[in-house]
Amino acid sequence: MAGVAAALMAMPRITTNDDLRLAKGCAEGDTTIFEEIYRDHSDRMKSIAYNHLGNVSDAEDAVQETFLKVHRAASTYNGESAFTTWMYRVLINTCYDALRRRLRRIQEAPIDDVLTFERAGASVDDAKRMTLRKMLGELPEQRRTVFILFEVEGLSHAEIGRILNISEGNSKWILFATKKQLQEQWKNKS
């Protein structure tokens, strides 16, 4: 019971008129609405997809597929969470689907494309990033996603909870367990 209450607190109903406007526009295929979403969210969407899929081409495909899925399913948007939260959930599921398809094809994904990274704060060593990316690739889906959303994209645990449909406390615990696991591997590699 307490778990349910915590989950409900982590996922407050925060639908606004703006969410409904976005959902309506997407359902109708209004390109100005899609353009608005693209302008505001594509940078983060591409980064999340890139960090899940490991290459630019697949990341762009995932973003495009997410927009199409949003267009198809926007009429079923029920307002349980913010429209953009729902959209990020669609993106992450699209990335999971792409990874599963890739696993089925038993293909090695290229680890990195040539990219220009915008680094926040002090610059870090490329080798360290490569190592961390490889370690993330070996993690279970949910752990990897929580780590990427919190540590890479800077989302709060409350936001992550709403996107992944888990409680804020659960998100915090998953991140801690993931970082502990990474820390062990990090020590061994260095």
Partner 1 sequence: MTIHCDNFDDLLLEGDTFSMQIAAKHAKDCASCAEKLASWNEISETARGMHASWENEMLWPRIKRAVGAEKQRSRSHVWQIAAALLIFAVLGGLTWRAQERARKFDDVIMREAALEKVEQTEKEHIAAINNLEKMAQPRLSDPSSPLLVSYKEKLMLLDDAIAECQTNIDRNRQNAHLRRQLLAIYTEKQRTLQEVLREESHASNQ
Nearer CB in complex with partner 1: 10/59: 59
Is 147 exposed, middle or buried, given 0-12, 13-18 or 19+ CB atoms closer than 10 A? buried
Please give the single-letter amino acid code of residue 161.
Answer: G
| 155 belongs to the binding site for partner 1 (CB under 8 A) | no
The DSSP 8-state label assigned to residue 75 in this structure reads: G
Q: Kindly state the smallest distance separating residue 27's Cβ from partner 1, in Å.
A: 10
Q: Kindly state the smallest distance separating residue 13's Cβ from partner 1, in Å.
A: 25
Of 45, 67, 38, 51, residue with least CA distance to 99: 51
Q: Return the residues of window 53-112 that contact partner 1 according to CB under 8 A.
A: 56, 59-60, 63-64, 67-68, 71-72
CB count in 10 Å sphere of residue 67: 19
| 188 belongs to the binding site for partner 1 (CB under 8 A) | no
Task: Give the contacts of 89 (CB within 8 A, at least 6 positions apart).
Answer: 81, 163, 164, 165
| 41 belongs to the binding site for partner 1 (CB under 8 A) | no
**Which residues contact partner 1 (rule: CB under 8 A)?**
29, 31, 34-35, 38, 42-43, 46-47, 50-51, 56, 59-60, 63-64, 67-68, 71-72, 115-125, 128-129, 132-133, 147-148, 151-154, 172-173, 175-176, 179, 182-183, 186-187
